[in-house]
Amino acid sequence: MHILILGAAGMVGRKLTERLLREGRLGRQEITRMTLQDVVAPAKPANASIPVNVVASDFADAGAAAPLIAERPEVIFHLAAIVSGEAEAEFDKGYRINLDGTRYLIDAIRAVGGGYKPRLVFTSSIAVFGAPFPEKIGDEFFHTPLTSYGTQKSICELLINDYTRKGLLDGISIRLPTICVRPGKPNKAASGFFSNIIREPLAGEEAVLPVSEDVRHWHASPKSAVGFLVHAGTMDLNAMGPRRNLSMPGMSVTVGEQIASLERVAGKNVTARIKRVPDPTIISIVSGWPRDFATDRALKLGFTTAEKTFDDIIRIHIEDEFGGKFAA
């Protein structure tokens, strides 16, 4: 099996690559080669037991997808995107990368012809939903995105559904919760503070909280996100019927509950590093975000999370990124 990962230099892409190389197979099939693509060259895995090709290219350039698809990968993990805050601030760039890049990709798949029909796993987002919300957003709730990022993701879901319906690819769009705790440096995502208020204090640094502690949101760990992708790459998609998009399981917590979990796991000295500095722009964006989900359909299809409480999410981060130790 040849696997192509688009956006492989990002956090989820790196962790997905590590898991696939560690396990050496996807489902029942042995992985024989991998291609890792991003706008900056992904790090080439050391001591990989299979050929791994690294490609640096602009995913949204016309023609960039064709040489990647010419290798006829059987499974494509499409993680390439710019994040919510950047897509909102840079309108043209958001549509170019998040929408045009996806259209170029699926058209490149179509152009191969000859019966080529790869599995395409697209990382969508809960940003496809917009207020007003019910208490829990169920599988039948309609799409009314209130951001450019959510609109771009929603359009891509529809395109992948249609190309699948026409038999041009075998697609699935999974709407990831906000991934928390994200390792590395803060990015331009409007949701970045959810991770920042955990990650930076654990590293001994100050973090800024731009919203009130009663803000509620839907989260899953990086470990869960990789698990969702692997399952989407191996499951029987016929069980989904014609609707090839769904929201992933997660955990609904308030910012205050996040901070309480951090205090239980790491202590008051760590939570004292969180500074409250309200940001009207972030507050406005967050007000249109979903807070809780009922993901019955995903659960019935075998998608599961790696954690039961937010304390678990923090402990996973400490173990994976700090080797079990943190700045007390």
The catalytic site residues sit at 149
State both tokens at 149: 């990022």
Q: Which of 130, 40, 32, 31 is nearest to 80 (CA)?
A: 40
Q: Which of 59, 179, 77, 165 is nearest to 123 (CA)?
A: 77
In sequence order, the 6+-apart residues with CB closer than 8 A to the CB of 158 are: none
Using a 10 angstrom Cβ sphere, with 0-12 exposed, 13-18 middle and 19 or more buried, the burial of residue 95 is middle
**How far is it, in rounded angstroms, from Cα 82 to Cα 224?**
21
Count other C-beta atoms under 10 Å from residue 74's C-beta.
18
Contact 193/85 with Cβ under 8 angstroms? Answer: no
**How far is it, in rounded angstroms, from Cα 168 to Cα 110?**
6
Half-sphere exposure of 134 (CA within 13 A, CB side): 10
Instruction: Annotate 148-200 with DSSP letters as a single string.
Output: HHHHHHHHHHHHHHHHHHTTS-EEEEEEEPEE-SPPSS--S-TTHHHHHHHHH
Q: Distance from CA of residue 281 to its chain's centroid?
A: 23
